[in-house]
């Protein structure tokens, strides 16, 4: 886990959530720019996952490895799954799905950081 990457993902995710909430309240469906935004966010998440995987292969493993890997898998799968599900909906509820995903993502990252670097 790279700290600044986690922070960047969290900020980007919250920005994405804000943008999608605005779209929802303005009664707009999901558009291609939303999808591109989610793509960028996903690439950042994949970057973090790859860095963490390389560190783990190199022997730098968190104490609860199984838990960490399952959280990491969830974090990687959440953006594309919700992007597809939201894009299928041609109403304001499409961006609402993305907003939800983008609000959950920073929380999951906090949990990942706790598992990676337990503060005892």
Using CB under 8 A as the criterion, which residues of the chain lie in contact with other proteins when the complex forms? 66-67, 70, 74, 78, 81-82, 85-86, 88-89, 91, 93-94, 96-97, 100-101, 104
Least distance between other proteins and beta carbon 94 (Å): 7
Least distance between other proteins and beta carbon 58 (Å): 25
Q: Are 108 and 75 in contact (CB under 8 A)?
A: yes
Q: What is the spatial distance between Cα 99 and Cα 114, in angstroms, rounded to a whole number?
A: 24
* Closer by beta carbon to other proteins, 43 or else 107: 107
Radius of gyration of the chain (CA): 15
* Closer by beta carbon to other proteins, 32 or else 66: 66
Alpha carbon of 109 to those of 7, 28, 30, 75: distances in Å?
9, 29, 25, 8
* Closer by beta carbon to other proteins, 4 or else 90: 90
Least distance between other proteins and beta carbon 26 (Å): 16
Q: What is the spatial distance between Cα 88 and Cα 37, in angstroms, rounded to a whole number?
A: 16
């Amino acid at each position: 886990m790279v700290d600044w990457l986690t922070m960047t993902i969290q900020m980007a995710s919250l920005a994405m959530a804000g943008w999608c909430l605005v779209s929802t309240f303005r009664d707009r469906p999901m558009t291609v720019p939303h999808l591109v935004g989610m793509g960028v966010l996903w690439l950042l998440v994949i970057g973090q996952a790859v860095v963490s995987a390389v560190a783990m292969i190199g022997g730098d493993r968190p104490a609860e490895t199984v838990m960490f890997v399952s959280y990491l898998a969830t974090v990687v799968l959440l953006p594309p799954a919700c992007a597809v599900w939201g894009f299928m909906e041609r109403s304001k509820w499409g961006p609402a799905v993305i907003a939800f995903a983008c609000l959950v993502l920073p929380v999951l990252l906090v949990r990942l950081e706790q598992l990676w670097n337990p503060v005892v």
